[in-house]
Amino acid sequence: RCVVFGESNTSVEAAHELGMKCVVVTGNKPVYDFVGADLVVRNLSQVSFFNLKRLFGAEELVAARVGQDELEGGLA
């Protein structure tokens, strides 16, 4: 699990291309310019452990489901 912190859509594209999550720090730029980012904040003080954990929340649910399917005899 890896998170990239960036300031541009180039950061978002590069992170996603490599299977990473991306947090964009916008500063004074409009937030709507970064719709592809996993999390958008104005400054780093808005980043919390809870926010970062949520980035991978869906991933944990998928891993748990795959493990359960294997216990039940394979994937359907």
DSSP, collapsed to helix, strand or coil, labels residue 36 as coil
DSSP, collapsed to helix, strand or coil, labels residue 74 as coil
Q: What is the pLDDT along the chain (76 residues), one digit of tens a residue?
A: 899 999 999 999 999 999 999 999 998 898 888 989 999 999 999 999 898 888 888 665 555 555 555 555 555 4
Judge contact between 20 and 59, C-beta under 8 A.
Answer: no
